[in-house]
Amino acid sequence: MTVPGIIKKVIIIIVSLCISWLLIEVLLRILAQYSYRIRFYVTNPKKQIFTDTMVDWKSITENTPCPTAPGLQYNGFIYNSHGFETPDVPYEKPAKTKRVLLLGDSFALGVVPYYQHFFRLMESKVNQELVPQTGKKYEFINLGLGCIGPAVERRILEVEGAKYAPDVIILSFFVGNDFTDDNPPYLKYTGLLNKYVPAIHIPARLGDSSLVSLVENLYLVYTTGKGLQPVAKTDHTGITGVYVGGSWVDRYDPMRPTMTDNAYREKISRDLGIYFTDGYPSFPRVEGDIRRMAQISRSLHANFLVLIIPAEIQLNKKLLDSVTWVARRNQEKPDVYLPQQQLTNFLKKESIDFIDLLPEFEKNASNPAIYYQPNDEHLNTYGNQAAADLLYPWLYNHLNK
């Protein structure tokens, strides 16, 4: 075969591949509009979020790395008409009504059945104890979303949460990743924050490809354990904002692992940077977002509290020992108390109320991991009950004023 013939064939192959890629891209993007499962897999897991483009609930819920939609069914609950895991509530607050607003990432949603999450446990207790005493109505509004950090949570409060005129605002802050969730991909997945564990970096432009995201997400799910597959589905009945239960709720097991042991240790290792003195240069931005949320709360005459949820590695010495090998290339040892110290010092300085679950969880020295879904980091039913028990007295006092 002549050289021109070879060049011609190569060009034909390249053009064919490009056309095939384009057709697959178009097909995936069309299908993603009708299937949450496909949308989950084709969304860039390292998507960079720009909060200035988030101007309403729809532009928020559709533009996070874990997008949601009205009618989405998760944890036995059908998401409301704005794409949040909470009942539909009008913006205007009725007379003799107090509202409690929850902000946060996947910890505000949980991996437990809807009514076993700490927010709903407190709602049930308020209805049992406060309603008979005061005769008032108490509405609990959960505006948490998965795969976000304080910057998006602050934006949710600005463009959506403030409209509900809440009386109490609770920020669920997870130590394990909320310091880094808002970092741009080039910093979050490579460089300083991840210098202890190498990572493959996919350029942002390429990462926005639905096909590339599909391959990356499939690899992530099937190498870390089937538990990471989306258990959510879209409900087509037109009903939103209601609890429906389901087979997943009936089968829920607080001691069933989500990931494989190796995948979980790898995930923990990637987040080790926050336990080193130079590990989270984004902390000033986190401070600014929390400070802004506190300012908005004061302008609404609402009580603001930060609920600090520790990472399992801060309590589980066996888990810590199994991943510290990644830091041996550096003389500094990880300090599991470092993130809490810096965060609580800031909150005290700003006179912002907070409750830290770490000291309470440490009291169960015999089995501190009992509060977490195995190989997951999210709180199981035991952890959610403990969080509700610790948080409820503060909530009761502020609602009963």
Is 202's pLDDT higher than 50?
Answer: no
Average pLDDT (179-183) is 77
CATH topology of domain 35-399: Rossmann fold (3.40.50)
More confident of the two residues 83 and 40: 83
User: CA–CA separation, 379 vs 310, rounded Å?
Assistant: 10
Q: Cβ neighbours of residue 285 under 8 Å, at least 6 residues apart? A: 150, 151, 182
How many other CB atoms are found less than 10 A from the CB of residue 362? Answer: 12
Provide DSSP, 68-130: --TTEEETTEE--TTSSSS----SSPPTTEEEEEEE-SHHHH-SS-GGGSHHHHHHHHHHHHH
Share of the chain above pLDDT 70, in %: 83
pTM, entire model? 0.86
Q: What is the DSSP letter of 310?
A: P
The string of pLDDT tens digits covering residues 223-245 is 655 544 444 555 556 678 888 88
User: CA–CA separation, 13 vs 401, rounded Å?
Assistant: 72
Share of the chain above pLDDT 90, in %: 43
Comparing CA positions, the residue from 84, 75, 83 lying closest to residue 103 is 84
SS3 168: strand
User: CA–CA separation, 158 vs 326, rounded Å?
Assistant: 40
Average pLDDT (92-113) is 95
Rg, C-alpha atoms of the chain: 22
Comparing CA positions, the residue from 260, 267, 361 lying closest to residue 315 is 361
pLDDT at 390: 96
